[in-house]
Structure 1
Amino acid sequence: MCANFKPLTLDQIRDLNLPDIPFEYPDEVYPNYELPLLFKSDQGLEWRKVHFGLIPKWAEDKNIALKTYNARNETLLQKPSFSEAIMKCKFGVIPVNEFYESKYFDSKPQRWGVRRKDGNAIYIAALYEIARLGDEIVRSATMITMDAIDHPMMKEFHEPGSVKRSVIVIPHERLDEWLGWNSPDIHSFVEGFPEAEFECSHVPKAIIRKTSPQLNFFD
C-alpha cells in the first residue's frame, strides 16, 4: 500500500500540458495531508485540494482518513467507506513525482522510491468524495490498489509473505478515458504498470536534527 509520496512538480505540470494548480500543497504527503487531485468536469480538467484518505459522508470526523488512504479494487463495492463513491463513478487521479514503499532487509524496512524513468508524473487511480462535517465541506480521495504478487517490481515491497499490493497506474494515453469512466466496473484499468518504464531506489527519510540549546547559548 502507498502511504507516502511526493506530488508532481511544476515542471511536470508544464510537460504534461496540465492546468496550473491554483493552490499550495506540501512537497511530501502522508495520510490526512492535503494534495492536488485531477478530475474532469463539464469545463474540462480541473484541480481540487483534497485530503489523502477518503472521508465518506457518514464520517464523524477526518480521522477516518488515516485508515482509508488506500482502497482495494476488489472490494470497492462492498466497503461502506467507498461504495457510494464507486457507484457514482467519482474517478480522478493523484499525479505524483515519486511514491514510497517499504522494502525489507533482514526483517527491517527501508524506504524505497518508485518513479518513471522519463521523469514524467505518475497518474495514480483515485476515488474521491465530498462530505459535510458540521459546517465544513470536506473533499477527500483514496488511491485504488491491486494485487501485485506477480509484478516484477512491486512484489519486492511490503512485509515478506503472500500479500503484495500496488497502486493502479493510469497510462497517460488513457487519462481521459479513466476520468470520464461511467461504470463501477473498472476491471479494464486493473493492470500492473510496465516495469521497464519505471525505476526504484533506496530513499532514506531526511533527518531533521534539532538544534541543541547549548549550541545557541551565546547567540
Structure 2
Amino acid sequence: MCANFKPLTLSQLQQLGLPQIPFEYLEEVYPSYKTPLLFKSEHGLEWREVLFGLVPKWAEDVSTSKRTYNARYETIFEKPSFQDAAYKCKFGVIPVTEFYESKYIENKPQRWGVRRKDGKAFFIAAIYEICKINNEIIRSAAMLTMDAIDHPMMKEFHEPGDVKRSIVVIPHEHLDHWLNLKQPHQMTQFMQGFPVEEFECSHVPKAKIEKPTPQLNMFDLF
C-alpha cells in the first residue's frame, strides 16, 4: 500500500510533453496532503489539485482522506467510499518520481524507494471524486492497488505475514486509453504488475519534511 511518494518534477513534466501544472505542489506527499492529478476532460488533458485520499460525496468532512488513499481494485465496486467514482469511470493518474514502502530487514522496518531506472516519472492509476462540504469544493483521489504476492519486487515489502499489495502503473503508451475508459469493468485489463526490469529500489532514509502550506486552487470544477 502506498502512503508516501514524490510527485513528478518540472523537468520530468517537460520530458513527457505534458501540459504545465498551473499550481504549486509539495515535493513529498502523505495522506491528506495535496498533489497533482492528471485526467481527461472534454478539453483534453488537464491537471487538478487533489487531496491524497478520496473524500466521497456523502462525507461530512475531509478526515476520511487519511484512510482512503488506496483503493483495492478487487473490491472497488463494493466499498461505499469508492464505488460511485468507480462506476462513473472517474479514472485519472498521479504521476510520481518515486514512491516509498517499508522493507523489513532483521525484523526492523526500513524505508525503501521505488523508481524507474531511466529516471522518468511514471503514472499511478487513480480514481477521483469531487464533492462540496460546508460550501467548499473538495477534490480528492485514491491510488488503485492490486495483489502483489507474485510480484518479484513488491512482494518483498511490508511486514512479514502481511498482505502484499502494489500500486498499479499505467504504461506511458496506454495513458490515453486509461483516461478514456467508458465502462467501469474495463479497468481490469490494466490491473497488471509493473515490469520489474524497468524499475529499481533502494533504502531511502526518511528526511525531515516541512509542514505543508495551503495551495492556491485555480479551478472551480473538474
Matched, 1:58 2:58: yes
Task: Give the SS at the match of 2:169.
Answer: coil
Q: CA deviation at 1:66?
A: 0.6
| C-alpha displacement of 1:103 | 0.3
Amino acid at match of 1:199: E
Q: Distance in 2 between matches of 1:59 and 1:107?
A: 38
**Any idea what SS the aligned residue of 2:184 has?**
coil
Residues 155-198 of structure 1: CA distance to partner in whole angstroms, max 9, x if unpaired? 00011125100000000010000000111111100000000000
RMSD: 0.9
CA distance in 2, matches of 1:98, 1:16: 16
Q: Secondary structure at the match of 1:27?
A: coil
Q: Residue 32 of structure 2 corresponds to which residue in structure 1?
A: 32
Contact 1:5 1:100 in 2 (8 A): yes
Aligned equivalents of 1:187 and 1:39: distance in 2? 18
Name the % identity.
Answer: 69
Aligned to 2:102: 102
Please state how far the C-alpha of 1:108 moved relative to its aligned partner: 1.2
Secondary structure at 1:196 match in 2: helix
Aligned equivalents of 2:2, 2:200: Cα separation in 1: 16
What displacement does 1:207 show?
A: 4.4
Q: Which runs of 5+ in 2 are unaligned?
A: 210-222
Aligned-partner Cα distance in 2 for 1:73–1:206 = 31
- Asked whether the 8 Å contact 1:113–1:202 carries over to 2, the reply is yes
The 8 Å contact of residues 25 and 36 in structure 1, kept in 2 or not, is answered as yes
Q: Specify the code of the residue in structure 2 equivalent to 1:70.
A: N
CA distance in 1, matches of 2:161, 2:203: 21
Give the distance between the partners of 2:150 and 2:162, measured in 1 at CA.
10
Task: Indicate how the Cα distance of structure 1 residues 207 and 27 shifts in structure 2: closer, same or farther if over 3 A, else same.
Answer: closer
Residue 18 of structure 1 aligns with an amino acid whose one-letter code is L
TM-score, normalised to structure 1, is 0.94
1:180 maps onto 2:180 in alignment: yes
Look up the SS of the partner of 2:120 in the other structure: coil
Q: Distance in 2 between matches of 1:73 and 1:61?
A: 24
Give the TM-score normalised by the residue count of structure 2.
Answer: 0.92
Q: Which runs of 5+ in 1 are unaligned?
A: 209-219
Conserved in 2, the CA contact under 8 Å of 1:149 and 1:162? no
